[in-house]
């Protein structure tokens, strides 16, 4: 079978798989980045709202001090959000300084009653501060819910001082209501938000696994586990820093194995040949089954062993008898070699040159290695680059 022939199933007809994780990742990261900046924005406007609500009842100078101190803490937190966060688990954690800034900001916000002890004894003043705190607490849960521990610490820092102040300044009803609100929102709401995020992560992991499985199916030969024709074509267009070599292998006498020992024995031969091919190349090289009894190897970069020697070792390995069900199979390999100088990989031309060399090997009596006299030369332009060929004596260096 020549390289131009199609296998019974053309893997190139399979659409290139896409990774849902790659699509979801920017959306999730964008969501959390947006939510955290919303938290900063909410924190920035919360203290002015408290000041505005309590302005008629409080000492103005004290409340302005409260506003200034709180805004400084929030600005510090905002600055840490602006710093790069390369944490692998960035959806689950904040930068350390942002955490400190958040906790300090929450403590200051909740301590508004202590800034003006006289006004704090006024129930309207205390209730006005509480309303703003409760609204901000709900937003904190929405943003920090996936980080359960941090969310609960933030809520405690926000509401615990307010609860204590309620008791100190004679508002037990407000204090008890706040404590109940804190238990419910820090316990039930945070847990629920976190569980929803866990479900989202689980769905993302499942989607990623399905994508990886689909990609493996699309690019892997089901029988031998080698890269298939479609998977091999994904290397086309690679920018080569060094020379690359192609080894085209076609099994001799394979049809006789199928005819005499059966197709199951033929499959066993292909599996064993694939195993032997892997043994003589590096993990970084690409070993592919093109279809039928044809294989192709991409030898990337420089090998310590000359390519001709590698090909002859492969030929000798394939020639060794293969034990199969029902007997022993004897096949050999005709091998064609081709190569390309540094530049943009033209896989089709590399295969075509190796196929022509393979045809010569078969015409010389099979079980031969023949090197193409053409060295493909392409410049490094990705498209439209000029190309030429160099003639050699048919031997690789």
Classify strands 332-340 and 369-378 as parallel, antiparallel or unpaired.
Answer: parallel
- Asked whether residue 3 is domain-assigned, the answer is no
166 and 37 within one domain: yes
For position 86, what pLDDT does the model report?
58
pLDDT tens string 164-203: 888 888 888 888 887 787 777 767 777 777 777 777 777 7
For position 265, what pLDDT does the model report?
93
- Asked whether residue 8 is domain-assigned, the answer is no
Is the pTM higher than 0.75? The answer reads no
Number of domains into which the chain is organized:
2
Q: Go through the chain and tell me how many residues it has.
A: 397
What's the first-to-final CA gap in the chain, in angstroms? 29
Nearest to residue 113, comparing CAs of 89, 88, 135, 132?
Answer: 132
Interacting residues of 25 by C-beta distance below 8 A, sequence separation 6+ = none
- Asked whether residue 6 is domain-assigned, the answer is no
**What is the sign, positive or negative, of the torsion defined by CA atoms of 342, 346, 347, 350?**
negative
Reading the block at residue 121, the tokens are 């004894």
Provide the edge-to-edge strand list for the sheet that holds 332-340. Answer: 286-291, 294-299, 244-252, 332-340, 369-378, 387-391
Look at the block and give the residue holding tokens 């007809």: 13
- Asked whether residue 302 is domain-assigned, the answer is yes
Which residues span the domain enclosing 328? 222-391
- The total of other beta-carbon atoms located within 10 Å of residue 106's CB is 29
Question: CA 174, CA 155: separation in Å to the nearest integer?
Answer: 16
Q: Which of 160, 191, 211 represents a domain boundary (last residue)?
A: 211
- Asked whether residue 164 is domain-assigned, the answer is yes
Within 170-295, where are the H helices? 172-184, 190-219, 229-233, 254-261, 263-279
- Asked whether residue 154 is domain-assigned, the answer is yes
From residue 23, give the alpha-carbon distance in Å to each of 89, 198, 208: 17, 18, 10
Interacting residues of 239 by C-beta distance below 8 A, sequence separation 6+ = 343, 344, 345, 380, 382
Look at the block and give the residue holding tokens 């890269």: 227
Tell me the β-bridge partners of 377: 388
Tell me the β-bridge partners of 322: 329
- Asked whether residue 397 is domain-assigned, the answer is no
For position 17, what pLDDT does the model report?
43
Q: Residues of the chain whose pLDDT is less than 70? A: 1-36, 80-81, 83-96, 98, 142-143, 145-146, 186, 374-397
186 and 158 within one domain: yes
């Amino acid at each position: 079978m020549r390289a131009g022939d199609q296998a019974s199933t053309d893997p190139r007809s399979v659409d290139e798989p896409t990774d849902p994780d790659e699509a979801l990742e920017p959306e999730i990261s964008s969501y959390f980045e947006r939510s955290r900046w919303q938290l900063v924005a909410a924190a920035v406007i919360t203290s002015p709202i408290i000041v505005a609500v309590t302005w008629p009842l409080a000492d103005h100078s004290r409340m302005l001090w409260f506003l200034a101190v709180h805004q400084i803490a929030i600005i510090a937190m905002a600055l840490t959000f602006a710093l790069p966060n390369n944490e692998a688990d960035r959806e689950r954690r904040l930068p350390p300084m942002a955490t400190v800034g958040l906790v300090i900001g929450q403590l200051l916000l909740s301590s508004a009653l202590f800034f003006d002890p006289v006004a704090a004894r006024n129930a309207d003043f205390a209730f006005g501060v509480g309303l703003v705190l409760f609204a901000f607490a709900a937003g904190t849960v929405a943003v920090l819910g996936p980080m359960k521990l941090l969310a609960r610490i933030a809520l405690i820092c926000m509401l615990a001082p307010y609860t204590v102040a309620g008791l100190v300044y004679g508002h037990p009803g407000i204090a008890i209501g706040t404590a109940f609100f804190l238990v419910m929102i820090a316990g039930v709401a945070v847990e629920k938000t976190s569980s929803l995020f866990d479900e989202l992560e689980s769905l993302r992991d499942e989607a990623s696994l399905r994508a990886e499985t689909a990609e493996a199916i699309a690019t892997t030969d089901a029988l031998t586990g080698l890269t298939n024709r479609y998977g091999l074509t994904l290397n086309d267009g690679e920018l080569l820093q060094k020379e690359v070599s192609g080894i085209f292998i076609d099994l001799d006498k394979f049809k006789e194995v199928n005819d005499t020992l059966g197709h199951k024995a033929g499959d066993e031969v292909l599996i064993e040949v694939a195993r032997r091919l892997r043994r003589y190349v590096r993990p970084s090289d690409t070993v592919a089954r093109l279809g039928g009894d044809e294989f192709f190897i991409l030898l990337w970069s420089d090998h310590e062993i000359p390519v001709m020697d590698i090909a002859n070792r492969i030929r000798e390995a394939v020639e060794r008898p293969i034990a199969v069900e029902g007997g022993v199979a004897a096949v050999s390999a005709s091998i064609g070699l081709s190569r390309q100088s540094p530049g943009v990989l033209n896989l089709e031309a590399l295969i075509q040159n190796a196929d022509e060399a393979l045809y010569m090997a078969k015409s010389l009596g099979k079980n031969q290695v023949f090197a193409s006299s053409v060295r493909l030369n392409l410049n490094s332009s990705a498209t439209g680059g000029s190309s030429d060929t160099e003639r050699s004596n048919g031997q690789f260096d």
